[in-house]
Structure 1
């Protein structure tokens, strides 16, 4: 799953010139490793590190490292955090790690022998540096949620896509309680944007291409009854029932989507509460710009990729 790395600004500045290619390949959707914008003033800390380094005397080098820092920050995880103790960056990162752990903290040294700190000299072959892209969890609600939790806790917008989604069915209700709990514990925002897309295919019979009006009405009532208890106070969730246009993209694949990362499920987003031995295959995928499922399933897309049969928003007080 995605991995959030806290990066010591002093380390970044001291090593960038000799290791620029490494840093360019280290972070971003393609690697599934993301820089943590920690603390919120991480860029200012980079500037402070530059002023006390030889780079400060080289205007071109200074511009280059700041431009690259800005490109990293465009796709960085901007986590919210409380007041930090005075002192060195590493001490602050270790303090924050006790509240919500990073995947790892990258620093020049590890004086406290903290298991979460990876020293620069050990980075290339360190187990924490290599992110798996494929998973084979059991289809229990807890196992599925544990795989996607790092992504859901760090996303400002999430789209769930499953043509069979039905919140009144145990296989979806039980696991969505877990998925939405991950989002409630977001480290980046108090009000993430959540969209759930379904085709209500569980209610379709052979030869029937779309749900009846009663099916859609019952489904909306179930969502309004069950979803608010799973959402954060003051948040909302958009739910849409879609179907394919004639000759268009089929509503078939199952995804959890953010703007940068797509998790594709082999069987579906639901769990299998009555089949304890059941497993699924989850793949973390990065798509070229313009070809991401995020763009396909975004309800704001024009022209739309699917016909909307019903769309509504569930809110919480």
Structure 2
């Protein structure tokens, strides 16, 4: 659902090329730019200093400051051999961990995943993306919608008023999320479960106590935060880089107890910012499971 593209710094080194391409990216549009190499923004500015006029350079520099997060995604990919041309470095990294596409100013060699800026078109299969889609309610598809965001998140908020980690239909998606973090060797990650205060405290505690301590991988903590039931009806997976809303819930339908499909929407920047603020962590959460070393 969310695609990650490598974008050659020289391809956006003038204001005209910069604004035409950048507006096609953003979490809500289903496309993000990979921060590759790690000093990608500095590389754009160096290219702009050669190609852009002074007033254009200032505009590009100002816009670059606001790209982090909802447009530019830093997955801490290795930058490769700095002595090699950008495309050579990208193709080496692409072989290790594929991008969804690679965008260059001019074609240097044939490659099925490489597009030039002149070839960019929303209807082109390689570039086509969407911020909204129907998914099957399986653990894999629920989590895969936000897998790119999870891969670089420090805080992950699971918002579902009925979340019960001990019930298989919620446990499976949570386990899929935790497996993703473990396989990527992520540490220092905090997961917040925001649910309704709609049961006796002892019952809510039982939803997590028997399950969470055995599930958490090293370096990942989890806390549970309660909200008045009437104030919380929506379902989200949120990270500091963006998030998605789930029309039905964060539980799967492997047992056939509900609908087979769900409608998932990647949040627009303003909507995301409002929902992120709406679920602040409590100073004293109802439950907390610190990250193990």
Q: Which of the residues 104, 109, 112 maps onto 1:107?
A: 104
Give the aligned partner of residue 42 of structure 1: 40
Give the aligned partner of residue 255 of structure 2: 274
- Partner-residue secondary structure (3-state), 1:226: helix
Question: CA distance change for structure 1 residues 19 and 54 in 2, over 3 Å: closer, same or farther?
Answer: closer
| CA distance in 2 between partners of 1:185 and 1:146 (Å) | 14
| CA distance in 1 between partners of 2:51 and 2:285 (Å) | 62
Give the aligned partner of residue 159 of structure 1: 157
Q: Which of the residues 88, 102, 113 maps onto 1:116?
A: 113
Q: Which of the residues 66, 88, 91 maps onto 2:88?
A: 91
Give the aligned partner of residue 140 of structure 2: 142
Structure 1 outlier segments of 4+, above 4 Å: none
Question: CA distance change for structure 1 residues 138 and 29 in 2, over 3 Å: closer, same or farther?
Answer: closer
What is the root-mean-square deviation of aligned Cα atoms in Å?
2.9
Give the aligned partner of residue 168 of structure 2: 170
- Partner-residue secondary structure (3-state), 1:165: coil
Please tell me whether residue 218 in structure 1 is matched to residue 206 in structure 2.
yes
Q: Which of the residues 268, 287, 291 maps onto 1:311?
A: 287
Please tell me whether residue 264 in structure 1 is matched to residue 229 in structure 2.
no
Rg (Cα) greater in structure: 1
For these two proteins, the number of residue pairs brought into alignment is 289
Instruction: Give the Å deviation of 1:133.
Output: 2.1
Please tell me whether residue 65 in structure 1 is matched to residue 60 in structure 2.
yes
- Aligned residues of 2:34 and 2:75 also touching (Cα < 8 A): yes
- Aligned residues of 1:154 and 1:186 also touching (Cα < 8 A): no
| CA distance in 2 between partners of 1:32 and 1:83 (Å) | 24
Q: Which runs of 5+ in 1 are unaligned?
A: 201-209, 302-307
| CA distance in 2 between partners of 1:211 and 1:256 (Å) | 22
- Aligned residues of 2:121 and 2:127 also touching (Cα < 8 A): yes
Q: Which of the residues 191, 196, 218 maps onto 2:193?
A: 196
Question: CA distance change for structure 1 residues 292 and 183 in 2, over 3 Å: closer, same or farther?
Answer: farther
